[in-house]
Every structure is written in C-alpha cells, then in structure tokens.
Structure 1
C-alpha cells in the first residue's frame, strides 16, 4: 500500500519523495487506505511505483511480441500468434487486477489471484518463446522415457505452484504480525507466523526431493550436454538458492532483501521447469517441423 490510489500515487503521476510534498492533511485523506501506516514512507511508495512502471514496460514488451508473432499467421504455426494475443490481453487484465489489489486494500484472495495470473502469463510467454524455435530440438529421449518425464514434470510443477501459494499465505500472515508487533520486533516475526510457516518450510523438503528425482531422470535420458540438460541443472541450483533464501529469512530476522529474492527464485524455477516439460513433450505441444523455415527463424 505504498501508493494508496491507482493509477496515480498520492494523486500524482510522479510520487513524492518526502512528506512535505503532500497535503498537510494527507493522513486524513489516505489514512484508511494505508492500513494504519499513515506515516509517509518514501521507500515503500517508490517500491510500489517502480513495480507499476515495470508492469507497464512488461505490457509494452508483450505487445511487441504480439507484433513479432504476426508473420506466424501465414505459417503452419498460427497458434503462436493467438497465444501471443492471449498473453497481451491477460497482461491488460492483470493491470486492471493490480488496481483492484489497491482498491480492495490487499485483500488476500485478490493478491493470490494477482500472483496466479502473473504465473499464467509467464507460462504463455515461455510457451510462445519455446515454440518459436529458440530452444529447438534439444532433447533426445530414450525410448519409453517421454511419458515418465512428462508425468513427473507435471507433479514437479504442481508441487512448485502449491509451494508458491503456501508462500503467499505466509506473506499475508507476516503482514498481520508486522502490524501487531512493529518493525522493531523483527526477530519475533517468524515465531508468530503459526502453522502456515511450518507447513511451507516442511513442504520444501518434498519439493526438493521430487525436483532432484526429475532432474536426474532428465539428465540420464541422454541430455547431459543439451540445452534442456543445462536448464534442468539450472533448476537444481535455483532450487538450492530458493531454499537458502528461505533459511536466511527464518534464521536471520527476515532481512528485507531476502523476501523479493525468494519469490523471484520461485517464479524463475517454475518457469524453467515449464520449459523443460515443454521440450520433453515437444512432439505433442511444439510443432518443430518447418519452424526454422518460417517466421520462427526471426526470433
């Protein structure tokens, strides 16, 4: 709630940097929308505003992706255009939903849906990116491996998504604890989070084990030196980093930098898992034949 209104921030297109730039009665005007934190905080305000600017930039880039996908309408892969269009439309809807996050004052359901839609958009963009031929035929599967890897891959992504949703619940609980205890009691935050935190922490063990099994099977399917193998190995190290940032938050008083890094690793991990899963199922979901000879060669 660094910006209590939308699309402007404190009624300005360029947010203030200090309280003196706000009306004298700004606490009365915005107090209810700031969830009790009526003292102006430039860091929070500009963090939220930069988030909006990055969101707008993302929308522009996805629009350029849509324009770049137009040549595929003349090829046998016209679905690439329609998926690009879907990503663009959903990004616009995501912007509207972001406004609702503000107007509903961080209602947990709206925040969670906002996060889920972001993941859906990421998946669509990665689908277009992979299909357009950048990854290409990078996975050589041993006979009978495809179904096994595909099935385990679905389980891996489902567990990762569930873990992300658990994380959003922990983050919402954290907001409540912070309001109750204040920032000076940072060392006590974790102890007050309740069952959601311990479930989230323990579930990470299962996520790690299943990921390790899947990655090992991908690498043993004759893909040590392929792009898919490299992506699978990257998934493993990102998972390690993800767990490490969780440990840092749990045992080192929840440093502010760790929270966005933790979430970034989670989204990066599930995105790369999706690319590997797509390539594993290339025959079913990616039409490689002819792509290089069409507009896909321009990507």
Structure 2
C-alpha cells in the first residue's frame, strides 16, 4: 500500500470538515426529534405526508380544521383521527428537522465536489451516497406514515439513520484526523479492531431489540393509556427481558474493549479520549434504562435512551476507525490528510 496525499487546499478541507461536523449535529438533532415523536406517541400527529392535515403549516387548534376532518382522514389511517395540536406539531417539527438535514447533506455533497477532480474520489462518492440515502430516508418516512408505524418499516427507518450517521462520521473523521500527528503510527494493537467490531455489533443488536420493546410498549400504551406509565413495564413481554438481559453482555464486551484501548493508547491520544467518551455514554445509557425500568418510564428517559444508544455506536465507530491500520498513515506529514490506498 502506498500513501496518497490529497491535493485539496487546507481551506477547502477545513470548510468540508466544519460542514461535516455541523451535519453530524443536525443528524443527531433529528434522532432526538424522532425519539421524542416515538415517546410521546406523535408518529401519526400528521395523518398525511408531506403536508399535515392538508396544510403546509399545520393547524394549532381544532377550529382550523373542517368539521368532517375525521371522515376525511379515516380512510387514510383506517381508523379515527383525533386532532391533538401538541402531537401534530411534535411530528411537524420532526419533519422540518428532517428537511433541514437533507439540505445539510446536499451542502456537504457540494463541498465534496473538489475531491472528485483532485482526489480522493471516494470522499465525493461517500457524500453522494449519504445524500441519496437521505432522500430514500425521506421516502421511507412517508411510508412510516402510510403504513401506520408498521414495525418493519420503523426498524428499517432506524437502521438507515445509523448508516447515514456512519457515512458522515467517516467523512468528518477523514477530514479532521487522518494524517494528523496525534494518531500517526497507530496500529491495530491487541486485536482492537476485532473487539471494536464486536462492540458495535452488540450495540446494533441492542438497538434493534430496543425497537422491538418499543413496538410492544406501543401496544401496552394503547391498552393502558399515557396516564398509567407506572404499569407499562410490568405489562411488557419477553422482548423487554431479553433487551434487559442482553445489556449485561453489552456492558461486559464494551468494558473489556475500552479497557484494552486504554491499556494500549498513550495518554492524551484522541483514541483514548473517544474511549473515555464511550465509557461515559455507556454509563449514562444504563442509568436511563434503569430509570425506565424502575421509575415508571419517565418521559425524557425514552428519547434520551435512544439518542445515547446512537451516540454510543457512533463513538465506537470513531474509535474503531481511528485505530484501524487500514485507514491510517504511518508516515507523519503536515498539511492535508493522508490516506492509504485500498
């Protein structure tokens, strides 16, 4: 393998890096919004798409809707529609953030155009992939509405969000860290890449198990109502206990992996800092899970639990990526990042 130095000007690289970072922030805001939508039961707050109750700006009170609005939207939802302004605007804000995310991804794609001519071209292709996937994600979001929150569609929606986050994290990591002095000469020591893959895989499985729990909880909420939060956990099925028990394995593998990273990496290294971040996020994630299990599912704990899970798997990916010898240069140089031919 030979080292290749990008011919992109440092200013253009900095601009791309800042835009990638801002896009990551917006992506996580979108995940937060999606978590709030799920935890408040606002997924059908807007019964149609892309408009909301037939309007680009949704109503704020019942008087703004036609008298027969239930009849109009019953056919689309195969059930009665009851207007709830809080749920309607929660879903609408989620859609607005989704649209803004699409704009940010498009701007990132434009910023990647110089790489198509001067290399490395894969930066452009990864940016293009993220843009296309966001478009598909928007279409899938419409299907989430039309299929009335069908479990398979909701799970696919979540998986695709994680893929998009990984793509943009890769772009930011390349622009910010590759070829920098604090990670040069980093090798895949002590099998850390394999441990990292195991940790990410377990986190992904746990997220998917969590979506199953959430789907079961939706049924429970429909039966008991939102004013019976204290009874929700006790009414869940085996999905909840599998999810809870699996967390023990998740903590053990992540703890061992993080320990190995801290043993290998030098004090002050960026990989070591991200490993500490993984440990911190994992700890807070456990606390939110415990609070839901034993404190009657606090409203803020639900979206926090989901967002922390996505943050954790993102940090795991960063540690794995920075540690992997497949991507890192072993020759310290200044200027633009250095890549390794693949």
Q: Please, what TM-score do these two structures have when normalized by structure 2?
A: 0.80
Query: Structure 1 residue aligned with 2:327, among 285, 292, 298?
Result: 285
Query: Residues 204-223 of structure 1: matches in 2 within 5 Å?
Result: 204-223=247-266
Query: Residues 80-159 of structure 1: matches in 2 within 5 Å?
Result: 80-134=123-177, 136-139=180-183, 145=189, 148-159=191-202
**Deviations 1:69-109 (CA, angstroms, capped at 9, x unpaired):** 12222334211111011001110110011001111111110
| Pairing 1:30–2:73 present | yes
Q: CA deviation at 1:36?
A: 5.1
**Deviations 1:113-147 (CA, angstroms, capped at 9, x unpaired):** 0100000000011111111234645446787616x
Number of residue pairs the alignment of both structures matches: 294
Query: Structure 2 residue aligned with 1:77, among 116, 120, 123?
Result: 120
Q: SS of the residue aligned with 2:176?
A: coil
Unaligned 5+ residue runs, structure 2? 1-43
Q: SS of the residue aligned with 1:285?
A: coil
Q: CA deviation at 1:292?
A: 5.8
Q: Indicate if the aligned counterparts of 2:174 and 2:337 stay in contact, CA closer than 8 A.
A: no
In the alignment, the residues of structure 2 paired with residue 252 and residue 64 of structure 1 have an alpha-carbon distance, to the nearest angstrom, of 43
Unaligned 5+ residue runs, structure 1? none
| Pairing 1:48–2:91 present | yes
Q: CA deviation at 1:183?
A: 1.8
Query: Structure 2 residue aligned with 1:229, among 261, 268, 272?
Result: 272
Q: SS of the residue aligned with 1:189?
A: helix
Corresponding residue number in structure 2 for 1:64: 107
| Pairing 1:196–2:206 present | no
In the alignment, the residues of structure 1 paired with residue 75 and residue 252 of structure 2 have an alpha-carbon distance, to the nearest angstrom, of 45
Q: Please, what TM-score do these two structures have when normalized by structure 1?
A: 0.91
Worse overlay, 174-183 or 137-146: 137-146
Q: RMSD over aligned Cα, in angstroms?
A: 2.2
Q: CA deviation at 1:184?
A: 2.5
Corresponding residue number in structure 2 for 1:5: 48
Larger RCO, structure (CA 8 Å, separation 6 or more): 2
Q: Indicate if the aligned counterparts of 1:71 and 1:295 stay in contact, CA closer than 8 A.
A: no
Q: Indicate if the aligned counterparts of 1:80 and 1:132 stay in contact, CA closer than 8 A.
A: no
